[in-house]
């Protein structure tokens, strides 16, 4: 577990290795956190939930870090507001890295003695998966931050703009009752429980994602100007935000370009469209006279198609499964408190850490959000 712990911790820092100091402290919008904050918050998690309860005589690295780097755990007291994370020039980036080193050293010591404790091991595994979640957020937040610059440079090698196989096939699923939810002994989030039976009607689901080229036809046909394709809330969002294309697209010399973590590239028409909101995914499906799958349809069919390049919007609201119970204490705030006004995404993305995706994984975001690697799979 020491090797696993250090591997996860080191990868977070690798993601940030090409940043300059100023990049670490920017927060261009509320949902995007500064990289400095991510590095400190994931460290605070290990300090709070493992070192303090399990390492005798442990002393906080800094008494104010609990206030600064608690994210949303009301049980643990007051915290710095989310939209204020970029307002603090202190602690410095250098001090945050010292904080990480301090916690890593103490965690290595603790891991030599406490690993046999069942509660400790479960919380440790939760902490590692929590940091892996933040690694994906680090990549997408860094991308958004760097994109705000003139001539934004590449800062991390990631194959964002690769082609799919040409041609679409429809996978047919017969009506019936199907098991939904996680079963097994491996790690999973509490929102993947409880396993239950879900009835679905006959349906078909696409074996590939919608491409940039296909989405471009929607744009060229006036999709962003026709209210008939949009939810009322989505239509208001389009007009208020003046959105006319996916995030990171822009035209140069009459050609579509796209910003990626590798830098600016020509738009690959055969690559899956990405960085779109639920509103845009829904509108596209209406334009093409199809629909988005439910999360249950997606999970039932997931063994019959390739997935993992984009988080795929479904038309399912994020709700608890039958029999779901939040765990007690601060850990119980992890998922259950967010089960309102959000839509479920299934699959994984190219930014998802290896070994951190499952067919039962339930991601969730508010409908306007599009800074993650989100895409579209159609159903009928």
Condensed to tens digits (0 to 9), the pLDDT of residues 129-185 reads 999 999 999 999 999 999 999 999 999 999 998 998 888 999 999 999 999 999 998
List the domain range (segments joined by +) for residue 213.
Answer: 170-375
Mean pLDDT of 263-285: 97
Q: Are residues 127 and 230 in the same domain?
A: no
Last residue of a domain, one of 116, 147, 178: 147
DSSP state of 42: H
**Residue 354 — very low, low, confident or very high, per pLDDT cuts 50/70/90?**
confident
Is residue 136 a part of any domain in this protein?
Answer: yes
All residues at 6 or more sequence positions from 120 whose CB lies less than 8 Å from its CB, including other chains: 50, 54, 114
Residues 186 and 130 in one domain: no
* 3-state DSSP assignment of residue 233: helix
309 and 181 fall within a common domain: yes
Tokens of 246: 């996916």
- Residues forming beta bridges with residue 91, ordered by sequence position: none
Distance between CA 40 and CA 110 in Å, rounded? 20
CA distance 373 to 380: 24
Residue 204, strand partner residues: 172
pLDDT at 194: 86
Q: Within this chain, do residues 121 and 183 fall inside the same structural domain, yes or no?
A: no
Partners of residue 176 on adjacent β-strands: 200
pLDDT band at 48 (very low <50, low <70, confident <90, very high): very high
Query: Could you tell me the CATH number of the domain that includes residue 191?
Result: 3.90.1580.10
Averaged pLDDT for residues 329-352: 84
Backbone φ/ψ region at 62: left (φ over 0), alpha (ψ -120 to 50), beta: beta
Same domain, 119 and 206: no
Please state the φ and ψ torsions of residue 51, each to the nearest 5 degrees.
-70, -45
- What's the predicted TM-score (pTM) here? 0.94
Report if residue 88 sits inside a domain: yes
Which residues pair with residue 265 across a beta bridge? 258
What pLDDT score does 337 carry?
Answer: 79
CA 248 to chain centre: 17
Is 72 inside any structural domain? yes
CA separation, residue 243 to residues 142, 225, 249, 305 (Å): 21, 10, 11, 31
pLDDT tens-digit map of 182-239: 999 889 989 998 899 999 999 999 999 999 999 999 999 999 999 999 999 999 999 9
161 in a domain, yes or no?
no
Domain for residue 157, yes or no? no
CATH of the domain at 12: 1.20.120
pLDDT band at 240 (very low <50, low <70, confident <90, very high): very high
pLDDT at 74 over 80: no
**Residue 117 binned pLDDT confidence (cut-offs 50, 70, 90):** confident
Question: What does pLDDT average to over the chain?
Answer: 94
- Structure token pair of residue 79: 């915290």
User: Domain for residue 280, yes or no?
Assistant: yes
- Asked if residue 265 belongs to a domain, the reply is yes
Final residue before a domain boundary, out of 111, 132, 147: 147
Residue 129, burial from CB neighbour count under 10 angstroms (0-12, 13-18, 19+): middle
Question: How high is the pLDDT of residue 330?
Answer: 60
- Claim to verify: residue 308 and residue 228 sit in the same structural domain: yes
| Number of domains composing the chain | 2
- Across 76-82, average pLDDT: 85
Q: Output the CA angle 36-25-94, nearest 5 degrees.
A: 50
Question: Quick one: 131 and 197 in the same domain?
Answer: no
Report if residue 131 sits inside a domain: yes
Residues 180 and 290 in one domain: yes
User: Are 105 and 238 in the same domain?
Assistant: no
Verify that 120 and 230 share a domain, yes or no: no
State the Cα–Cα distance between residues 81 and 88, nearest whole angstrom. Answer: 11
What would the two tokens of residue 208 be?
Answer: 């590939």
36 with 143, same domain?
yes
Residues 200 and 103 in one domain: no
């Amino acid at each position: 577990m020491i090797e696993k712990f250090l591997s996860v911790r080191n990868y977070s820092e690798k993601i940030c290795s090409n940043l300059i100091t100023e990049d670490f402290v920017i927060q261009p919008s509320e949902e995007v956190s500064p990289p400095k904050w991510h590095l400190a918050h994931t460290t605070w998690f290990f300090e709070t939930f493992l070192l303090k309860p399990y390492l005798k005589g442990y002393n906080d690295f800094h008494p104010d870090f609990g206030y600064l780097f608690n994210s949303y755990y009301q049980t643990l007291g007051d915290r710095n507001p989310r939209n204020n994370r970029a307002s603090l020039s202190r602690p410095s980036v250098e001090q945050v890295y010292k904080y990480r080193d301090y916690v890593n050293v103490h965690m290595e010591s603790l891991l030599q003695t406490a690993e046999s404790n069942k509660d400790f091991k479960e919380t440790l595994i939760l902490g590692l998966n929590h940091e892996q979640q933040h690694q994906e957020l680090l990549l997408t937040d860094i991308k958004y931050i760097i994109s705000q610059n003139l001539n934004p440079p590449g800062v991390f090698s990631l194959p964002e703009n690769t082609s799919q196989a040409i041609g679409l096939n429809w996978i047919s699923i017969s009506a019936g009752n199907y098991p939904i939810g996680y079963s097994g002994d491996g790690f999973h989030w509490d929102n993947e429980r409880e396993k239950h039976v879900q009835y679905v009607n006959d349906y078909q689901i696409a074996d590939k994602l919608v491409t940039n080229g296909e989405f471009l036809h929607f744009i060229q046909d006036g999709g962003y100007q026709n209210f008939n394709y949009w939810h009322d809330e989505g239509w208001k969002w389009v007009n208020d935000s003046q959105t006319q294309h996916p995030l990171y697209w822009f035209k140069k010399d009459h050609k579509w370009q796209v910003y990626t973590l590798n830098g600016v590239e020509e738009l690959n028409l055969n690559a899956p469209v990405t960085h779109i909101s639920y509103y845009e995914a829904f509108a596209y499906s209406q334009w093409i006279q199809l629909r988005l799958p439910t999360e249950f349809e997606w999970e039932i069919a997931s063994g019959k198609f390739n997935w993992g390049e984009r988080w795929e919007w479904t038309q399912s609201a994020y709700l608890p499964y039958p029999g779901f119970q939040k765990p007690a204490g601060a850990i119980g705030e992890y998922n259950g408190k967010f089960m309102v006004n959000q839509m479920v995404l299934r699959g994984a993305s190219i930014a998802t850490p290896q070994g951190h995706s499952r067919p039962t994984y339930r991601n969730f975001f508010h409908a306007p959000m599009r800074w993650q690697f989100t895409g579209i799979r159609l159903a009928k």
